Chains A and B, each alone.
Chain A
Amino acid sequence: MKCLVTGGNVKVLGKAVHSLSRIGEELYLEPLEDGLSLRTVNSSRSAYACFLFAPLFFQQYQAAAPGQEALRCKILMKSFLAAFRSLAMVEKSVEKCCISLNGRSSRLVVQLHCRYGVRKTHNLSFQDCESLQAIFDPALCSHVLRAPARVLGEAVLPFPPALAEVTLGIGCGRRVILRSYQEEEADSSVRAMVTEMSIGEEDFQQLQAQEGAAITFCLKEFRGLLSFAESANLSLSIHFDAPGRPAIFAVKDILLDGHFVLATMSESDLHSPAPHRLVPPLQAHSTPHLDDFANDDIDSYMIAMETTVDSEGSRAGPSIPLSPGLRPPCSPGPYSEDNDAEPSTEPGTPPPKKFRSLFFGSILAPAHSPPGPSPVLAEDSEGEG
C-alpha cells in the first residue's frame, strides 16, 4: 500500500485520527479499492468509528502492489496519532504526508515532508489482523436528524466537557432536545445539575422523527466526530431507532465519509431502581417561547416548608420516566396528567452496565432483535483466524 496526501488534506487526515483516538486504542488500517479505511472500536465494544478516504482524497493512492493482496494492519492509536499530534504544526509546516505499508519489514511508514526540507519519518510496527467489520445500515433506522456541524456544536456547548452521557430526543413542537443524563444514585446527597438545550426544527436540514423519540448515548464519544465535522464544515446526520439500538452518526463529502456507531441505553437501563429519579418528561422544557410568568404553573413553585426536601413534598405531576418510543404524542402543559406511565420500581439491582456491547447484545438477546440480519456485528479480530 502506498498513498500520498498533500496540502490541506494532511490536516483533515490528522483531524480524523484525533477523532478516532477518542474512541479506541487501536487503529485498523485497511486499503480498499474504494479508498483507505481507518477504523477503531472501543474496549467495551460499545462504540465503533470508521473513516473512509476516497482515492481522490490522495494525490497518489495505491491499495496494493500489483499482483499482491492488500495488507490489513492494526496499529497502536497512540503511535499513529504521534505523527499528527500537533494539528497546528501539521497545518503550518507539513507539505506532504506519505503512508506506506511495507510487508517485508512489517512497518507502517508515515513520512511527513515538511517545510525547509525537513522530513519526519515514523516507523510503526503493526499486527496483521482480520478486517474490523461492523454491519450497520443507516437506512434501516426509523429516525434521522441532519444539521450543520456548527448547529450541533452550539447545541452541546452548554454541557460540561466532563459530562458522560446525553439524551437526544424530539419534544413538543418538534423541537430537538438535548439533556444531560445523570445516573441517579440512591443515596446521593449532592445531586448534579441537569442541563437541557432546546433547538427549533428550522435549524435542521432534515428532521424525520416523531415526537417522543429519544436516545441516550455517550457524549464524549460523539464529540470526537463533532469536532471533526466542525473543522471540515460538514453536515452531520444522526440515524437512530428505539433505545438500545445503536445510533449512527455520519458525515460525508465527495472525498471522505465518516461513521461513528454508538450504543444507546436501552429501556431497562433507563429505569433505574433509585426512587428519586430525575427524569422529567422530555416535553416539560420544550416550550418554544420563553413563557411569561403569567403562564407558569404556580403550583410548581410552591414548596412545602417544614417538610423534608425530598420528593415526598413534591407537588409536581407524577414522576414520569423517559420512555421514548412508548410515549403517546405530547400533551400541552409542562406537568400533564395525561401520561400515566409510572416509574417502574424494580427491586434494587446492581448499577446496570450502561452500554451493552454493540456487537454482542443482539446475539445474546434474540427475543429483542428485529427480524433479518442483526443490525451490528463484528468479528472479533482476536478470535477465529
Chain B
Amino acid sequence: MKFRAKIVDAACLNHFTRVSAMVAKLAKICTLRISPQTLNFILSDKVAGGGVSMWCELEQENFFSEFQMEGVSAENNAIYLELTSENLSRALKTAQNARALKVKLTNKHFPCLTVSIELLSVSSSSRIVTHDIPVKVIPRKLWKDLQEPTVPNSDVSIYLPVLKTMKSIVEKMRNLSSHLIIEANLSGDLNLKIETELVCVTTHFKDLGNPPLASEDASQDRDPEQMAEVRIDIRKLLQFLAGQQVNPTRAVCNIVSNKLVHFDLLHEDVSLQYFIPAFS
C-alpha cells in the first residue's frame, strides 16, 4: 500500500484544512478512505456513535497537485485508515503559511499518516513541520461496513435555512429539552419543535423551497402541506450544525418520517452526508 500526495496551492490547502476541521467536529474517530479519484471521511453507524453516520467525499484532483496511491491489491485499489480526526485537523492548521504540504503513508514503528509542511520563512532557510498521525489500517474484511450509505426514499426533501441561524436556535432549545422534532413539508415549511412538560417551543421557517423530487410517485401522492416529522437527539443535531463553520453552497434536508433525517450538503466541491436516526 502506498499513498503520497502534495498540495501547493494556498486556496486548496485552506479548503482542505476547513474540511478536516469540519470532520473533526463531526466525528472523533473516523475512517479515511483513499482511492484513485476520491478521498472520503467516513463515520459508520455503529451503536458507539449513537447511530449517526457520515459520508464526506472530495475529488482528489481538486486539491492535490500530486496524488499517487496503490491500494491493497489491483482489484481492491483502496486504502482504509482509521484515525483521530482532530490530529489531522490540528496538523493542517499549522500549515497556515505553507509553501507546500505533503501527506504520505509511512511506517514508523506503526502506520502513520505523515504530514510534512514546508513553511514560508523570512530567512533563507526553510522551516519544516512534520506531524506523524498514528493510523490503523482497516483490513479488507471490514470494508463492507464502510460503504457509501444508500440514500433512503425520503418523505420530504427541503432546502435548509441559514445554518448559523438554525444553530443558534437549536442551542437555545437544547437548554430546555434533550429531544427535538424536525418536521417539514413540500411547501417549503420547516419547523423545529421541542415539547416538555412545562413548555412547547416551535420555530417556523417558511418559503425555504423544496428540491425537485427524484421519484414521480411520491410527489403525486403527498399533500404538500403535510408534515413529515422525526424526533431526534438534540445534541446530535447540534454537533452537526456546530461542524458547519461556513454556510454551504447547497444544503438539503431529507426526512423519512419517524425514522431518519438525512442532511445532504455541498461545501463548494466537497459533499457531506450526515444521517441522524430517530430517537428510539
A-side residues, CB < 8 A to B, are 154-155, 157-158, 160, 175, 190-203, 276-278, 280, 285, 287-290, 293, 296, 298, 300-303, 305-306, 309-311, 313-316, 319
Contacts and interface: CB of A to CB of B under 8 A. Distances in A.
17 contacts: A160-B90, A193-B90, A195-B91, A196-B131, A198-B129, A198-B130, A200-B126, A288-B125, A296-B4, A300-B107, A301-B4, A301-B106, A302-B107, A309-B137, A311-B109, A313-B107, A314-B109
Q: Which 4 pairs show the lowest CB-CB distances between chains A and B? A: A200-B125, A191-B134, A158-B94, A290-B118
Given A290-B116, A303-B137, A305-B1, A196 B108 contact: no
Contacts of A276: 109-110
Contacts of B90: 160, 193
B235 interface: no
A303 B129 CA distance: 24
B127 A199 contact: yes
B37 interface: no
Nearest to A158: B94
B14 interface: no
B102 interface: yes
Contacts of A199: 125, 127
A288 B87 CA distance: 24
B2 interface: yes
A310 B87 CA distance: 20
Given A193-B90, A305-B72, 19 more contacts: A157-B94, A190-B84, A193-B131, A196-B131, A198-B129, A200-B126, A202-B123, A278-B132, A290-B102, A290-B128, A293-B68, A301-B3, A301-B106, A302-B2, A302-B107, A303-B107, A303-B111, A309-B111, A311-B109
Contacts of A319: 109
A314 B110 CA distance: 7
Contacts of B207: none
B1 A198 contact: no
Nearest to A275: B109
B126 A290 contact: yes
B100 interface: yes
Q: Is the interface of A mostly helix, strand, loop or mixed?
A: loop
Given A293-B68, A296-B4, A202 B107 contact: no
Nearest to A173: B125
B132 A194 contact: yes
Nearest to B97: A154
A280 B108 contact: yes
Contacts of B68: 293
B4 A293 contact: yes
Contacts of B121: 200, 203
Contacts of B105: 301, 303
A306 B110 contact: no
Nearest to B66: A293
A195 B131 contact: yes
A200 to B, nearest CB: 3
B150 interface: no
Contacts of A309: 110-111, 136-137
Nearest to A192: B134
Nearest to B118: A290
A197 B102 contact: no
B25 interface: no
Contacts of B129: 158, 195-198
Nearest to B6: A293
Contacts of A306: 139
Given A193-B133, A293-B4, A293-B66, A315 B107 contact: yes
A195 B128 CA distance: 11
Given A193-B90, A296-B4, A289 B111 contact: no
Given A290-B102, A309-B110, A314-B107, A303 B1 contact: yes
B109 A195 contact: no
Contacts of B116: 290
Contacts of A196: 129-132
A190 B3 CA distance: 22
B104 interface: yes
Contacts of B130: 195-198, 285
B175 interface: no
Nearest to A188: B134
B191 to A, nearest CB: 41
Interface in B51-72: 66, 68, 72
Nearest to B138: A309
A158 B96 CA distance: 10
B220 interface: no
Given A192-B134, A309-B136, A287 B104 contact: no
Contacts of B215: none
B123 A203 contact: yes
Nearest to A159: B94
Question: Which of the listed residues B4, B84, B108 has the most CB atoms from chain A within 10 Å of its own CB?
Answer: B108
A319 B109 CA distance: 8
B104 A301 contact: yes
